[in-house]
Amino acid sequence: MDPDGRTMVRRLSKSAFFIGLVAVIALSLLPQETIPETGLWDKWNHTLAYAVLALSGGVGFKGWRSLLTVGIGLVVLGAGLELAQSVTPDRDGSIFDAVANLIGVAIGSAASLGTNTLIARSADRSEPR
């Protein structure tokens, strides 16, 4: 992948991360009846949302330190939102939701490691020898 392609992937990933972050925060704090039904088990919704956030953040902000910062930040955010839900009318915080968030962060972080490896390998192939 050429340098411009890598830059575009990282920019799109950062954009997806920030848009997803706003969506997760909003959906976590809105009244329950206003949230659209996905047809999935609630814990799958949590796992999937945090996996996508960790993947997009891990690809958008390259490097181990960034991956660790994104991962820890998402775990703290997930726990904080569960605490906020416990004091929000019409919402219930749940330790099981926080665990689902943590699992999602782990899955998304692992996926971002693989994705970053593929990006780096494609960059190595595209450089002239």
pLDDT in tens, 53-107: 999 999 999 888 999 999 999 999 999 999 999 998 888 889 999 999 999 999 9
Q: How far apart are the first and last CA of the chain?
A: 15
Looking at this protein, which amino acid is placed at residue 94? S
Q: What is the DSSP letter of 9?
A: H
Q: What is the 3-state secondary structure (H, E, C) of the chain?
A: CCHHHHHHHHHHHHHHHHHHHHHHHHHHHCCHHHCCCCCCCHHHHHHHHHHHHHHHHHHHCCCHHHHHHHHHHHHHHHHHHHHHHHCCCCCCCCHHHHHHHHHHHHHHHHHHHHHHHHHHHHHHHHCCC
pLDDT at 123: 63
Is 2 a residue whose pLDDT tops 60?
no
How many CB atoms within 10 Å of residue 81? Answer: 22
pLDDT-based confidence at residue 124 (cuts at 50, 70, 90): low
pTM value is: 0.88
User: What's the domain count of the chain?
Assistant: 1
Per-residue tokens: 62: 């390259």
pLDDT-based confidence at residue 26 (cuts at 50, 70, 90): very high
The number of angstroms, rounded, from the C-alpha of 41 to the middle of its chain's C-alpha atoms is 18
Query: 65, exposed or middle or buried, with CB in 10 Å at 0-12, 13-18, 19+?
Result: exposed
> Which structural domain, as residue segments, surrounds residue 49?
3-30+39-126
pLDDT at 4: 65
